[in-house]
């Protein structure tokens, strides 16, 4: 298992990198954005996935410098990507980062350092983050909203049953968890009941929907039929290193 010291060294030695998974509109299959996902590249080339080190970073507080690195690196890459194409770049935030005062200022600082319009950045949090009723969290998201940064709920539907937080925060997008996507079957209404309910609710509340984990054309077709807005998944593109994503962007036009 990785230790705090391993991870501290990884940060100091610049061993982290962001991979990018493309996101597409379901009407027309256009590339509209990407989710940035952190990886740890060992000196021997081995790639460590975030599930193996983000929990340690969260427990030790290293998620604060790590999260700030992700934010800066995502903005640096976004600046380059935006020269080629209009894209929305999404990053994941941990609860620890959101509870610490000053996140909105950090975001503003990175955006201006790289000359990125706030509308090009999306922040993903899980439902549990928005269940926090503290003033810091409320204030942070209200500042970010004011700036024009968008907010998406990750793994939507797997967290809490209370939706009261949707009244406190303006949420732009619900990311439908892949557990509700994997079973989608054409001509089988039971398989799509939950995804359909989420899409209907999002529409009434003027939020967008993005389906995660789309792996087959059958799932894709079901999502189009249900009026889902966007998707990401292995069918259309895996998370890939930056250079590969840039080539993808330039090819896909």
Binding site for Na ion (CB under 5 A): 154-155
Radius of gyration (Cα) for the chain, nearest Å? 18
Query: How many angstroms separate the CA atoms of 102 and 147, rounded?
Result: 14
Residue 239 contacts ligand G per CB under 6 A: yes
Residues 99-138 that bind ligand G (CB under 6 A): none
Given Mn ion, ligand G, Na ion, none, residue 33, with its beta carbon under 5 to 8 Å by kind, binds none
For ligand G, which residue of 26, 31, 34, 94 counts as binding (CB under 6 A)? Answer: 94
Chain positions contacting Mn ion, by CB under 5 A: 92, 124, 154
| Shortest reach from residue 230's CB to Mn ion, in Å | 13
Tokens of 209: 């929907």
Q: State which residue, 95 or 108, has the beta carbon closest to ligand G.
A: 95
Q: Distances in Å between the alpha carbon of 36 and those of 33, 163, 237?
A: 10, 27, 13
CA 106 to CA 74: how far, in whole Å?
13
Residue 117 vs residues 110, 127, 147, 175, 231: alpha-carbon distances, Å: 11, 26, 9, 23, 23
Tell which positions 153-192 bind ligand G, by CB under 6 A: 154-155, 178
Does 7 bind ligand G (CB under 6 A)? Our answer is: no
Closer by beta carbon to ligand G, 132 or else 215: 215
Cβ nearer to ligand G, comparing 37 with 116: 37
User: From Na ion, Mn ion, ligand G, none, which one binds at residue 22 (CB under 5 to 8 Å depending on kind)?
Assistant: none
* Per-residue contact flags (x/-) with ligand G for residues 12 to 51, judged by CB under 6 A: ---------x---------------xx----------xxx
Q: Which among Mn ion, Na ion, ligand G, none contacts residue 70 (Cβ within 5 to 8 A by kind)? A: ligand G
What secondary structure does DSSP assign to 82-132, as a single string?
A: TTT---EEEEE--HHHHHSTTHHHHHHHHHHHHT--GGGEEEEEEHHHHT-
Q: Of 26 and 93, which CB lies nearer to ligand G in the complex structure?
A: 93
SS3 220: helix
Comparing CA positions, the residue from 237, 186, 247, 245 lying closest to residue 213 is 237
Tell me which residues touch ligand G (CB under 6 A).
21, 37-38, 49-51, 54, 70, 91-94, 154-155, 178, 212-215, 233-234, 239
């Amino acid at each position: 298992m990785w230790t705090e010291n391993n991870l501290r060294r990884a940060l100091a030695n610049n061993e982290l990198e962001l991979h990018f998974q493309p996101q597409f509109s379901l009407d027309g299959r256009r590339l509209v954005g990407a989710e940035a996902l952190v990886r740890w590249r060992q000196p021997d080339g081995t790639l460590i996935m975030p599930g193996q080190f983000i929990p340690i970073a969260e427990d030790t507080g290293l998620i604060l410098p790590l999260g700030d690195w992700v934010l800066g690196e995502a903005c640096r890459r976004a600046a380059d990507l935006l020269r080629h194409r209009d894209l929305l770049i999404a990053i994941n935030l941990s609860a620890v980062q959101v509870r610490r005062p000053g996140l909105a200022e950090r975001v503003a600082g990175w955006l201006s350092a790289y000359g990125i319009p706030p509308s090009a950045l999306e922040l993903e949090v899980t439902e549990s983050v928005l269940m926090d009723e503290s003033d810091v969290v409320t204030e942070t998201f209200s500042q970010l909203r004011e700036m024009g940064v968008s907010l998406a709920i990750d793994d939507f539907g797997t967290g809490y049953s209370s939706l009261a937080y949707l009244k406190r925060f303006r949420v732009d997008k619900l990311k439908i968890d892949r557990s509700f996507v994997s079973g989608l079957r054409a001509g089988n209404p039971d398989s799509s009941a939950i995804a359909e309910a989420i899409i209907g609710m999002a529409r009434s509340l003027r939020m967008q929907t993005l389906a995660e984990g789309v792996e087959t054309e059958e799932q894709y077709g079901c999502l189009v039929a249900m009026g889902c807005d966007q998707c990401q998944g292995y069918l259309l593109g895996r998370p890939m290193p930056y250079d590969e994503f840039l080539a993808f962007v330039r090819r896909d036009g």
